[in-house]
Amino acid sequence: MNLTVDKLNVSYGDKEVLKNISFSVNKGEIATIIGPNGSGKTTLIKAASRCLKPTCGNIYIGDMKIDEMNTRTIAQKLAVLPQVKNVSSDVSVEELVSYGRYPHLKFGKKLCREDKEIVDWALEKTGMKELRKRYAVSLSGGERQRAWIAMTLAQKSRIIILDEPTTFLDISYQLEVLELVRELNQSLGLTVIMVLHDLNQAARYSDKILVMNNGRICCMGRPEDVVNTCLLKDIFKINADIYDDKINNCLFLIPRNTIA
């Protein structure tokens, strides 16, 4: 299922933060949003996940406008992992993941066998099986992040939106989360939209990169077409050299210095 954003404008009060954003992410694609701090990435994610109302413009899932869809129906098609999350001190990993089934539950009904199997599957996929009885607050940052990802997986949606899924994780957990995202994308055909700060990771794991600056998308395309020295100079204000990573079959960059 593809997600299309059409001429989207979003403001906080009278401060316009997103200006005329249009793009489309195709079914089965991994699209990564990059951009400097404050460029509007989180705002875009929030608008796409209906947490913020746009001042104008539309968002489509397939060919349906999201503001004309029932919020539960959207939740069955699109799962979101926001940056800021909250969990009570006595919620176990298993319970947390089972909340992912909420959009599929009928009014007043409990989890059925199928729901439980899906929860098991999500725990398995994220390698959280051994930790399922633990309280979510007692986990390490990386383990907790994987528990939340398991919750979004349990939603069984075709599209997943992740805001900075790797922040606060050490390098091995970062790799693990991104490998998991790619694995899910390849095995289940999930459409993924995420925000990353690490440009090397963005280049390695994305089919498409969207570069944001000052509330606009300034360019988008395949990583090798988008990430170049000009972009790094203009948008990220660094001088960097770009190399070819033969092993992972992608490009990588080594920053030299910032441009004062």
Partner 1 sequence: MDSKNMKIEKIKKKSILFIFICLSAASFLISIGNGAVKISAGEILSALLFRQDTVNSQIIWNVRLPRTIAASLTGTCLALSGSILQGVMRNPLASPNIIGVSSGAGLMTLIVLILFPEFYFLAPLGAFAGALLATMFIYFLAWKDGAGPNRIILAGVAVSSLLGAGNNAIMTFYPDKVSGIIGFMVGGLSATNWQDVFTIIPYASAGIIMVLLIQNKLNILMLGDEVATGLGINVERTRFFFIIISSLLAGAAVSVVGLLGFVGLIVPHMTRLFIGSDYRYLMPATIFTGSFVVVICDTLARTMFAPVEIPVGIIMSALGAPFFLYLLRRKAEY
Ligand X SMILES: Nc1ncnc2c1ncn2[C@@H]1O[C@H](COP(=O)(O)OP(=O)(O)OP(=O)(O)O)[C@@H](O)[C@H]1O
Task: Return the one option of ligand X, Mg ion, partner 1, none that residue 53 interacts with (CB less than 5 to 8 A, by type).
Answer: partner 1
Which residue, 30 or 147, has its beta carbon nearer to partner 1?
A: 147
Asked whether position 156 contacts ligand X by CB under 6 A, the answer is no
Asked whether position 12 contacts ligand X by CB under 6 A, the answer is yes
Asked whether position 38 contacts ligand X by CB under 6 A, the answer is yes
Task: Return the one option of Mg ion, ligand X, partner 1, none that residue 94 interacts with (CB less than 5 to 8 A, by type).
Answer: partner 1
Asked whether position 39 contacts Mg ion by CB under 5 A, the answer is no
Those residues with Cβ within 8 angstroms of residue 25's Cβ, 6 or more apart along the chain or in another chain: 2, 3, 4, 31, 191, 193, 208
Q: Which amino acid is at 136?
A: A
Collapse the DSSP code of 115 into the 3-class scheme (helix H, G, I; strand E, B; otherwise coil) and give the result.
Answer: helix
Which residue, 107 or 249, has its beta carbon nearer to partner 1?
A: 107
Q: Which residues form the interface with partner 1 (CB under 8 A)?
A: 12-13, 46, 49-51, 53, 71-76, 78-82, 84-91, 94-95, 99-100, 102-103, 108, 132-133, 152, 155
Residue with tokens 């989890």: 111
> Given candidates 32, 39, 185, 206, which one binds ligand X under the rule CB under 6 A?
39
The sign one gets for the Cα dihedral 59, 64, 67, 72 is: negative
Which residue, 72 or 237, has its beta carbon nearer to partner 1?
A: 72
**Alpha helix segments (H runs only) across 53-198:** 71-77, 93-99, 113-125, 141-154, 171-188
Minimum CB distance to ligand X, residue 233 (Å): 19
Minimum CB distance to ligand X, residue 236 (Å): 12
Strands, E assignment, the chain: 3-12, 15-25, 30-34, 56-61, 64-65, 78-81, 159-163, 191-195, 208-213, 216-221, 238-245, 250-258
Asked whether position 17 contacts ligand X by CB under 6 A, the answer is yes
Encoded tokens for 37: 């701090």
Which residue, 155 or 213, has its beta carbon nearer to ligand X?
A: 213
Interacting residues toward Mg ion by CB under 5 A: 42
